[in-house]
Amino acid sequence: MTRPPNSDDPAALERAARELHDIARCAKAQAGMMKSHTGRVEPVAGRVAAAIGGTATGTDKKMVDTLGRAVRDLKGASGDLEQAARTAQQLAQEATSRALAAREAQAAQHAAARRR
């Protein structure tokens, strides 16, 4: 993979790190909201089965199945958002490390230039 020009621009890397930290924070918050909703939807399936269980038309089974899919989808979305948060956090740390290395390299170049 080739790096674009200015890929070791410390300021750009620091901006990217800040943005990635923000993305990680937002993804983590959204994952928490998904988990919260999952906890609210799960009991509904049980209440539906208890309230209208065994209907001749099978409406209760359809509703319980639909609610079950919703719970699985919410859990999946929560897990995916948590993974996205971890990835964004890791990328932010890498960008921060590269920015620090680039700043150190610039400082060394300036010091060498002054000694000449």
**Are 67 and 44 contacting, i.e. CB atoms less than 8 angstroms apart?**
yes
Structure confidence by residue, pLDDT tens digits, 90-111: 999 999 999 999 999 998 998 8
Confidence band, pLDDT 50/70/90 cuts, at residue 5: low
Structure confidence by residue, pLDDT tens digits, 20-61: 999 999 999 999 999 999 999 888 877 887 887 777 677 778
Q: Which helix (H) or strand (E) holds 77?
A: helix 59-115
pLDDT at 114: 86
pLDDT at 3: 53
pTM above 0.85, yes or no: no
Is the predicted pLDDT of residue 85 greater than 90, yes or no? yes
Q: Which residues contact 54 (CB under 8 A, 6 or more apart)?
A: 60
**Are 23 and 95 contacting, i.e. CB atoms less than 8 angstroms apart?**
no
